Structure 1
Amino acid sequence: MDSQSTGSRTSGNALERTGHRLADVVERWMPSPFLFAIILSYIVFLAGVLVEGAGPAEMVSYWFDGFWAFLTFAMQMALILMTGFVIAYHPRVNDALRRLTEVPSTAGGAVVMVAVFSMAIAWVHWGFSLILGAIFAREMGKTAAEKDIPVHYPLLCVAGYMGLGLTWHWGLSGSAPLLLATAGNAFIQQGVLESTVPPTKTIFSTYALALTVLSIVYASLMLYLLSPAAERAKSIHDYVDKSDLQSAEAATDGGERSDGARASSDLQSDGGTMESSPEAQLGAGPVAPAERIDNSRILGAIIALTGVLYVAYLFATRGLDALNLNVVNFGFLFIGLAIYTKPAVYRERFGDAATAAAGIVLLFPFFAGIQGMMNASGLSQTFAESMLAVSTQATFPVVAWLVGSMVNLFVPSGGGEWIVLGPSIISAAQELGVPVGQATIAYAVGDAHTNLLNPFWAIPLLAITGIKAREMFGYAIAMMLLLVPFLGAALYLVPY
């Protein structure tokens, strides 16, 4: 790569050099996400025995019981990954993303564009950001390599992850604020709250909106300053084999190429049924009715339209209250079919995306087991109450942020975490005269912040971008540390 390419820097600033050194250390020492989960499991096991006095057999029982708590959620996550993957890699959608990647002309500009895209989309819905941020980072990396722009690919991947690492829990799909706005929620049933807390007090409060805008600006600036100098920048080709990129492009092109052109490569056996279109087989003799049905654009369009119209009906009748993970998955599933039209081709693209979900299937039960030990043993509540006991009215938002940050390292599930910690945080806030909406947003900031250390939520991004956790998390950890003084000051100073 030419170190004098347009927009490159030939010497790095102090922040860039520090980030580069930290990235080197993390790349050498950080375990894989699977081993990370195992290490955390043992830490929580020992803490439950030593701090809460639980017996070893009890802790193993809590672990086993919790192990299965994420089965529904894991399937939801697998679907959101696979449906998003299939949609984003359709030629028309992928072309739109590629056109956006043509806009930046400098390395720093490319990183900032991916980050702003990821953080803004995450505010709308974390699921969108989880997939589109990863794919946008990958496509930006490919375009930068083609244009010889010295973008450091690991930092580009961190930029695509910033939505999950910063803004998602303050937005329209934030678990904690949405739960408070739900009629008859668990906190009302427990007597912690007398009534619901509307989104105007949380998501749409000037406090949350100001934090969101300021955080996006600050994080973008830090990412720009962290961008390695040209001589240290490594392109996507240093981390992903060109053959893998070409395979992905071939799969993308396959959705739009004529069936005749695909006949030689896409004739895959499925219980004796060929999956290429009838048109591709016209020269091979009569086409079975089943083949025509499998490749019927009319049938695919009817099914897709049914699903899409139902999603539209939900939003028309319920407004933004209809927005949840099941609706997103349902919508993605049928929008994908509407884009591809042919049921057989759509099924093939799902097959291409299936391997990306392997990490979710393996790791989610282990983190669910950690959550089971944390919650059942009382560790989560003990930690939260100990921290909140030393707070004052002025420092409470900062303390709530720290509580969310620390617990999220071990229980990276915003909704499950809030069910356990919420009563303690809300009760403490009410005793100190802190608005519940402010306390909730402060906690949500912490819950998102330490996603930049725990690779749990990065699993889909790792699958899509082709990078390893240890190759990108040095910069993710650098961003987490750089955000600490900013978030502490902002939570303390921004008025509610």
Structure 2
Amino acid sequence: MKALTNVSTKLMQRFLPDPFLFVIILTFVVFILGLLLTPSNPIEMVSYWGGGFWDLLSFAMQMVLILVTGYVLASSPLFKSLLQRLALLAKTPGQAIVIVTLVALLASWINWGFGLVIGALFAKELAKIVKKVDYRLLIASAYSGFIVWHGGLAGSVPLTIATSGHFAEDMIGIISTNDTIFAPFNLFIVAALFVSVPILNRLMMDRNNVVEVDPKLLDDSVEKTAGELKSKEERTPAEKMENSVVLSMITGILGLCFIVYYLVNNGFDLNLNIVNFIFLFLGILFHMTPRNFLNSVTNAVKNAGGIIVQFPFYAGIMGMMVSSGLAVMFSEWFVSISTEVTFPLFAFISAGIVNFFVPSGGGQWAVQAPIMLSAGAELGVSSARTAMAVAWGDAWTNMIQPFWALPALAIAGLNARDIMGFCLWVLFLSGAVIGIGLLLF
């Protein structure tokens, strides 16, 4: 395993481009495939690309906020202390790899946005405490926990089809999460990943090939402003407000009141907006003063550049895939070679391929649902199993798709090529586990 991992990491370091160049290459690939495989002409493909370019704008802002608010919360004295205490559980590099994987898996199963941020932040705390741990593998292990998100409590496909008024309701009705998230086959897959992924990450650890963290990447200190350095008597009225504990407490408590109201009325339905809201107001509370909070925000925003620039390009790719018919074409081909037994597996694989170009769970489901649900019904496969096969396919290829790794990479201060050599083996393992789970039940 160590030898195989060394080969894959070297290949990724040598040939995998920066995530921005990666999305540019994907754009050209989809453009050419659209010309070769569909009736679309160059002008039409350009129009599909430009027309979809801003379709993920609100989602991109949500992702920026999940990064910024998660970073701000974790950099607060209280939360940082909690992460540090949890990190003390790891005494050796091997224990650090296993613990960060389990924490990331659990957090991602609860909510994918929460898992992405917490896993990376916890990995940084472990890197500060555990010596001679490979920082690349540590961050890769934190990101590997993301594999379970679509089989968890915040999975967009199972939650969508469990909600009244979803676009496929006329075809399949309302499907309870008892038949999707909490179905035996799904729980088997999740449990198997909770066991196998930490073991795999531990096996990839090579004590003779360790890349330790650059101490500069672990420095989260923030320079104090002139107002903070002055005594209370010397501060201007504006500086006193900026350093007021009372203002932060009032603002934070107001936010907490809404959070309680939301949970009472909606239960534990943690969508991306409410996660951002929770992170934001807990960050305000835990930083104690508006100035401390704003200093942390300034530090956090420096890491958001990749998300801001790259998400519109992925939206353009999604526009070409959907409008040209490429996404439908891939799905129909896999349906054509399926049987009742193999259909969930092929639905899973086709979703994984489409996800590589349309890395949006909700957007991908909108494209594939009409084809997959209809084909599944003809073959006698339940709609719940079909939906979860697509959901797991969407989660699967995230292991080698830099799109979702951007927040974790930004927090860690690494590049995609630093972790993708490890994530490649998580892709192989999880593909086998998920495929077996879909075939056995």
Which whole-Å deviations, capped at 9, do the CAs of 1:195-249 have from their partners, x for residues lacking one?
Answer: 2111111111122111101111111121121111x1212211xxx3x23433x1x
Q: Is the 8 A contact 1:295 1:343 kept in 2?
A: yes
1:481, CA displacement in angstroms? 2.0
Which whole-Å deviations, capped at 9, do the CAs of 1:443-471 have from their partners, x for residues lacking one?
Answer: 11111111111101111111111111111
1:361 equivalent to 2:361? Answer: no
The one of 213, 228, 234 aligned to 1:276: 228
Aligned to 1:261: none
Q: Is the 8 A contact 2:151 2:190 kept in 1?
A: yes
1:477 equivalent to 2:429? Answer: no
Structural RMSD (CA): 1.5
* Whole-Å separation in 2 of the counterparts to 1:392 and 1:141: 48
Aligned to 1:163: 145
Aligned to 1:234: 211
Aligned to 2:266: 318
1:295, CA displacement in angstroms? 2.3
Matches within 5 A, 1:392-403: 392-403=339-350
Matches within 5 A, 1:135-174: 135-145=121-131, 150-164=132-146, 166-174=147-155
1:283, CA displacement in angstroms? 5.5
Aligned to 2:241: 293
1:163, CA displacement in angstroms? 2.3
Q: Is the 8 A contact 1:126 1:163 kept in 2?
A: no
Identity %: 38
Q: Return 5+ residue gaps in structure 2 as ranges.
A: none
Q: Is the 8 A contact 2:75 2:296 kept in 1?
A: no
The one of 30, 40, 59 aligned to 1:44: 30
Larger radius of gyration: 1
Q: Is the 8 A contact 2:217 2:412 kept in 1?
A: no
1:336 equivalent to 2:283? Answer: yes
1:466 equivalent to 2:413? Answer: yes
The one of 103, 123, 129 aligned to 2:109: 123
Please give the secondary structure, in 1, of the residue aligned with 2:304.
helix
1:60 equivalent to 2:46? Answer: yes
Aligned to 1:243: 216
The one of 225, 229, 240 aligned to 2:203: 225
Equivalences, count: 441
Aligned to 2:334: 387
Q: Is the 8 A contact 2:48 2:319 kept in 1?
A: yes
The letter of the residue matching 2:333 is S
* Whole-Å separation in 1 of the counterparts to 2:239 and 2:142: 40
1:334, CA displacement in angstroms? 1.1
* Whole-Å separation in 2 of the counterparts to 1:463 and 1:352: 12
Please give the secondary structure, in 2, of the residue aligned with 1:186.
coil
Which whole-Å deviations, capped at 9, do the CAs of 1:412-449 have from their partners, x for residues lacking one?
Answer: 11111111111111111111111111111121111111
1:200 equivalent to 2:165? Answer: no
Deviates more, 1:336-345 or 1:452-461: 336-345
Aligned to 1:86: 72
* Whole-Å separation in 2 of the counterparts to 1:244 and 1:430: 52
Which whole-Å deviations, capped at 9, do the CAs of 1:158-212 have from their partners, x for residues lacking one?
Answer: 1100122x10011111111111111111112xx322x211111111112211110
* Whole-Å separation in 2 of the counterparts to 1:292 and 1:22: 55
Q: Is the 8 A contact 1:401 1:443 kept in 2?
A: yes
Please give the secondary structure, in 2, of the residue aligned with 1:31.
coil
Q: Is the 8 A contact 2:101 2:198 kept in 1?
A: yes
1:36, CA displacement in angstroms? 0.5
Q: Is the 8 A contact 2:162 2:175 kept in 1?
A: yes
Q: TM-score, normalised by structure 2?
A: 0.97
Which whole-Å deviations, capped at 9, do the CAs of 1:57-88 have from their partners, x for residues lacking one?
Answer: 11111100111001100111101110000101
1:396, CA displacement in angstroms? 1.4
